[in-house]
Amino acid sequence: MAIKKIVKYGDDFLRQPSKEVHKVSKKVQDLIRDLLDTMYASNGVGLAAPQIGEHLRVFVIDTSTNDEPLNPIVFINPKIIKKSGAVVSHEGCLSFPEAYTDVRRYKNVMVKALDRHGKPFVLEAKDGSLLARAIQHEFDHLEGILFIDHVRNRFEADKVLMEHGLPPVEEDKLLDEAEMEEMLKEDGTVD
């Protein structure tokens, strides 16, 4: 379909929750194609509808590597139904060009969603895999949450954001993830 302009951090649009999809219409099919085209053109692993200016609960992910065939997964109206464990993830986001920092994520997630044809499916991603982290990252976009809201070190993140000409971390948006931080300590992942 088309490669769309990606909404950048600092735009309030990224902070608004998205609406449920009531029908997998032609408009939704076009949105899916635009998401995939834009994600691949930007060398991304995932992209959510709000990142291209649509407040609909849709995101796409493809964790295939260079030597593997493309394997896009479409999520419509996703719900994370199970999560456990914790992992530190070094993440970036297409809405934050070139800026990466450490965030907390659940190690294992199970998500229920509709596929591009409106058929329900359940997918489990484990062991802090790229897929597990990407599901959480893209799901957050639908809630108006950004990856830097999960940041482990706000000051380090502010430095990275500043180096890339982006606004600082929004302190009032930081998530209290004491339970996840405790899991990381118990695992010996962090001191």
**pTM of the complete model beyond 0.75:** yes
DSSP-assigned beta bridge partners for residue 121? 113
Tally of domains within the chain: 1
Catalytic residue positions? 138
Asked if 66 and 45 touch (Cβ cutoff 8 Å), the reply is no
Residue 5 lies in a domain: no
55: domain CATH number is 3.90.45.10
CA 67 to chain centre: 24
Q: Provide the residue range defining the domain that includes 45.
A: 12-187
Report whether pLDDT(124) > 90: yes
**Cβ atoms within 10 Å, residue 15:** 15
pLDDT digits (tens, 9 = 90+) for 133-153: 999 999 999 999 999 999 999
DSSP-assigned beta bridge partners for residue 110? 82, 124
pLDDT number for residue 143: 98
Mean pLDDT of 80-106: 95
Report whether pLDDT(191) > 60: no
Q: Cα separations (Å) of 158 from 51, 144, 149, 169, 190? A: 21, 19, 12, 6, 21
